[in-house]
Amino acid sequence: MATTIIQPGKIEPLARKAPWLRLPERETLFARREKRCNALANGHPLEKYLLFMARVARAQQDALNAYGKVALPEADQLRLSRRQGMPPLAMQSWRRDASWHEALRMIIEMVRDAAEPAAADSLARLLAGGGLAFESMADGLLAGDYAGMDLAAAPLVGAALQVYWVHMATSLDREAFAVSAAPTLCPVCASPPLASIVHNGGIENGQRYLHCSLCASEWHMVRVKCSNCQSTKDIAYHGIEGDSGAVKAETCDECQIYLKIMSMDRDPNIEPTVDDLATLPLDILMDQAGFIRSSFSFFLIPAEEVPA
Ligand SMILES: [Zn+2]
Ligand SMILES: [Zn+2]
């Protein structure tokens, strides 16, 4: 494992025009994810899961394209949120409307023939439970409380929630949002980041953004700073020797967490959700080194958090 420590003073200041918030590109977000799954799957130890994820991403893009009108925050709510630095679509407090149930049904119908038999049973049970079962699972997932949850169906519920939140985020203008009072959480939906992305080219060249695990928005954070406790001391980078170097783990000695940082100059096709899955060996190394993963992904819910 190679480690480099960079001193904070050596990083150039933020270019004046780089946006502080990048909302997801709804026309291509999940289609790009599908393509990345297919590109990385061949010969990968997680080949089957990546190919299944490609199907899920295809279904997510279709569900997003088909999404109709939904309830959004009123103008005065948005004003208040901006003034207080509160995410207006906060994942735990936003009152979901039932439109996402349709997205979930659509995604399940499109992928269930590709699911493992045990997972297909879970999906059938979830469908039979209907809206109440969907809502109860969504509550648990968004609160990080997996007790009693049928985890085989969880990634698809997460997939539908992503579609719903991307739809809401992209139905509002960037001006609807403001820098959050909690800069380590998404300013749109208050979710923790999935990973850091360092962009390549254009005005965002070399800038680090945190990529939201729910709505896929990206918000700026200076480099060489802990995405959890905001310390700038003893930040280190760990990678797997011999790979492309595109995905590293950024660790913080203050709070002992790590978040993956993905560099698009090393690989312009990076897609955070897929590249996170595809670099599980890095998580194993970081676990062995005593660091705790701060990232959340609906597609990597650790089984040990579920009581037997
Ligand atoms: Zn978000
Ligand atoms: Zn920290």
Q: How far is the CA of 134 from the centre of ligand 1 (A)?
A: 20
The 8-class DSSP code of residue 208 comes to E
Asked if 232 and 223 touch (Cβ cutoff 8 Å), the reply is no
Q: How far is the CA of 118 from the centre of ligand 1 (A)?
A: 31
Q: b vs e for 112-140, b when ≥16 Cβ sit within 10 Å of the residue's Cβ?
A: eeebeeebbebbeebbeeeeebbbebbeb
Question: What pLDDT is attached to residue 305?
Answer: 45
Question: What pLDDT is attached to residue 301?
Answer: 81
How many C-beta neighbours within 10 Å does residue 191 have?
Answer: 23
Give the C-alpha separation, 52 to 159, whole Å. 12
- pLDDT tens by residue, 263-305: 999 999 999 999 999 999 999 999 999 999 999 999 998 765 4
Q: How far is the CA of 222 from the centre of ligand 2 (A)?
A: 14
Question: What pLDDT is attached to residue 283?
Answer: 97
Q: How far is the CA of 192 from the centre of ligand 1 (A)?
A: 8
Closest ligand, as measured to the CA of 236: 2
Q: How far is the CA of 277 from the centre of ligand 2 (A)?
A: 23
The share of the chain scoring above pLDDT 70, in percent, equals 93
Q: How far is the CA of 212 from the centre of ligand 1 (A)?
A: 5
Q: How far is the CA of 194 from the centre of ligand 2 (A)?
A: 16
Q: How far is the CA of 103 from the centre of ligand 1 (A)?
A: 18
Closest ligand, as measured to the CA of 165: 1
Closest ligand, as measured to the CA of 234: 2
Domain 2-7+179-305 identical in fold to domain 29-176: yes
Q: How far is the CA of 194 from the centre of ligand 1 (A)?
A: 10
Give the CATH number of domain 2-7+179-305.
3.90.1670.10
Low-confidence ranges of the chain (pLDDT < 50): 15, 305-308
Q: Which of 108, 125, 116 is CA-nearest to residue 49?
A: 116
Closest ligand, as measured to the CA of 87: 1
Question: What pLDDT is attached to residue 284?
Answer: 96
Question: What pLDDT is attached to residue 308?
Answer: 36
CATH of 29-176, one of 3.40.50.10800, 3.30.300.30, 3.90.1670.10, 3.40.640.10: 3.90.1670.10
Q: How far is the CA of 71 from the centre of ligand 2 (A)?
A: 37
How is the chain split into domains, by residue range? 2-7+179-305, 29-176
**pTM of the full predicted structure?**
0.92
Question: What pLDDT is attached to residue 60?
Answer: 98
Closest ligand, as measured to the CA of 255: 2
